[in-house]
Amino acid sequence: MSDENNKLNGSRIAREKHTIEAMLHIYCRDHHQTQGKLCNECHQLLKYAHRRLDTCPFQETKPACNQCQVHCYSTMMRDRVKSVMRYAGPRMTLRHPVLSLYHLLDKLREVPELGKKKP
């Protein structure tokens, strides 16, 4: 079994962490000319995204982020993550065909306006 499949057998949160990391690598490589590792800015964003997943109140029952009523990202971070996903999303299909099936985070770009909550 491939490494990627092993990761997919883990928790939903673990899978989403892996997805955002893979997307950030694609984005960073093409936008910041990095090789195999993230620049500081993208690393911060990754850490932020992982922390949001760690504290997601739903965990294994987590809905797709675009259907979630808890908009846990700050506006600034959400904008940054959306740019990464818009760029890396279509490219994931080629590089990570299995992961892209689970590409729930991509739907962040269509966050509905209902159930807005102020922190």
Residues that bind Zn ion (CB under 5 A): 28, 32, 39, 42
Between 68 and 80, name the residue whose CB sits nearer to Zn ion: 80
* Shortest Å distance, C-beta 112 to Zn ion: 29
Q: 102: alpha, beta or left, given left = phi > 0 and alpha = psi -120 to 50?
A: alpha
Which residues, 6+ apart, have CB-to-CB distance to 103 below 8 Å?
Answer: 19, 89, 92
Between 28 and 92, name the residue whose CB sits nearer to Zn ion: 28
Between 32 and 101, name the residue whose CB sits nearer to Zn ion: 32
Alpha-carbon distance of 93 to 76, in angstroms, equals 27
85, 27 Cβ separation under 8 angstroms: no
Between 45 and 56, name the residue whose CB sits nearer to Zn ion: 45
* Shortest Å distance, C-beta 52 to Zn ion: 19
Pull the structure tokens for residue 88: 């890396």
* Shortest Å distance, C-beta 6 to Zn ion: 27
Beta strands in the chain (DSSP E): none
* Shortest Å distance, C-beta 98 to Zn ion: 24
